[in-house]
Amino acid sequence: MRELTAMQTRQALICLSCFHILVITASNYLVQLPINIFGFHTTWGAFTFPFIFLATDLTIRVFGAGMAKRIIAQVMLPALLISYALSVVFFEGSYQGFAGLSEFNSFVGRIALASFLAYLFGQALDIVVFNRLRQLKTWWLAPVSSTVFGNLIDTIIFFAVAFYQSTDPFMAANWVEIATVDYGFKLLISLIIFLPLYGVLLTKLARVITFEANITANSPLQN
């Protein structure tokens, strides 16, 4: 956890909160858009959700685990409201207008509920795992462990709540396969793309969001 001035704290809080909201909103919307890759069913959300764990790791390093939990709790409501509205107005990738907001969309509503439950449980586990392992000298254990277990819990809870016996025939029939492939893509993106640049990325982002130009970040590469 860093020692920040009042201005740096406000700036970091705003940036991290917006980052969480952006990724949650994008993931909740994109998970409704299925794609087929090499014969496997998945969704576009698989490519955006790994950024959630980057945002969480960064939040922990800047504010500590306790504050990270509070930030996560506070961003959930606006993120879900925005993602629900976006998903209704642009339902299944097509503009439907704002009239749909006058009626509750159960398909989108289940996704919002699933996102809420999965995000809280998954991120709580991520914080616990990461906060303990980040003290170790082997820096890569923390991001790898939090990514693997956090993604697993999140994926199971989200897809079961959102798409089990869904009103969408395709998602109802293929949610297990989609969840499995989705989890695989999350791990692939997180471990192959994020991990090699993890220490450098956290250092740069921490400096940007706190306007720190001359500090040494608590990079895992320096532990």
Q: Strand, coil or helix: what is 35?
A: strand
Position 211 pLDDT exceeds 70: no
- Contacts (Cβ under 8 Å, ≥6 apart) of 131: 60, 65
pLDDT, one tens digit per residue, over 37-63 is: 888 888 888 888 778 777 877 787 788
16 and 61 Cβ atoms separated by less than 8 Å? no
The predicted pLDDT at position 201 comes to 64
Which tens digit of pLDDT belongs to each residue from 103-147?
999 999 999 999 888 877 876 776 677 667 767 777 677 767 777
Instruction: For residue 70, count other CB atoms closer than 10 A to its CB.
Output: 12
Checking if the pLDDT of 163 tops 90, the result is yes
Q: How many Cβ atoms from other residues are within 10 Å of residue 11's Cβ? A: 17
What residues does each domain of the chain span?
6-215
CATH number of 6-215: 1.10.1760
- Lowest-confidence range among 121-130, 152-161, 167-176? 121-130
Per-residue tokens: 25: 């909103």
Q: Which 8-state DSSP code applies to residue 220?
A: G
